[in-house]
Structure 1
């Protein structure tokens, strides 16, 4: 299986870069719009719409280089899929909420909706690259185009959008594409002596000992893999959408052709340069300190 992008007319080739966060073009929306509670991920409580105490006047983080040391690892794993710059520069035309405070409430409400849409664009553009899913290419392309159209709605229309219902509709297509990819992978593995138990959607694998496991073609959608040992595991063609990788040990694991893996999931895990990732993702900087 290849992760090379199938031409969709929208997010093809390098244009998938539009779905990667560009903090320089954003008005610190993830630092102001979203809430978080004091926990292992965040050192303080912050309400939705309340700018973080570390957000500077230029919308930069005042402690960006020390987030993990200061108790904010949750900030380092977050990914808006480019929604921040879309809301800042397109939806609101480059007018920031500090210079125009009357826009703040609406901008903060629009941001999480846009984030959902951009995440769907990431998954749909990836699904279009799956050769086994070519039979549903028209449906995937149509969903991609409709999702992209929604990202250009006016603020009021975005706030009124039932994004949960829309996600459910798109998810049905993503599940179908996943099943086609995994079915092909599993056919090639039939009779493999190294196959282990096949896990299902939402599996509780917290702290699981899966070192060297053959998980090719596994359905791990929404699986709880917190602190699981996946060193040297083979996750090619495994569906990882929504899987919780917090503190998962991925050293030496092969995720090159995994399905619907995101940078945020990778950022939440532990790994090193022996961890094999899809070409669209990168090794997080903090992994170097773990080697």
Structure 2
């Protein structure tokens, strides 16, 4: 694909939406439009030159958009597509950036027009902050990007989305079943946020900050999360989330029991196993 001569609309100019707008400039699309209820965010984005035009009312840009990128909460994305169904351009590609996939795809594909292609997506990129002011095209550099295409998605549309993903700087594109996506993400993304929150909520001492080094800071970084978004993600993926919490509790109990039993040999073995897996994990991430 030699050019990317499309009209693109980004719905939601927060951290991911703003970063998308910045990164898409390198692909030189025909137009980058944005839809948001925050007029100040739209004004700022136009002043920064990362969008060509901002809209509170989505009807105008949607009627002319070849690609629509939803950078909003999962349930809001479902509502948005349903409410704006009559306004999407014939042949439009819609994709999203939500951290859950099975319910979202099931709902949307239950009512989406047959002349529109919805392709589920999830960039493995972001920060623990929210809002346009923290947006940066650099968050996609070297990142992984998950796609959850289904049988009715057109091959050429998937290729266009893949081209866009590579164009904004992502390194690997992983295609996976929506159900499997939610199972894995419950462990790699949702469980760490739960653990970080539990650690911070368990900080009893007022002067805890005077007794921490890198390990506590690293382990609790994501506790500074978008609480509304993450509450929705965990509830909507509740079965997988609970399964991962219970699995984590099992391994915590295993370590606790070695300490109760004064079993240093087994404790060292558990730690050595974890250390080895971490080293292997880092090596794979560097490839």
TM-score normalised by L of structure 1: 0.27
Larger radius of gyration: 2
Higher strand proportion? 2
Identify, as 1 or 2, the structure richer in helix.
2
TM-score normalised by length of structure 2: 0.27
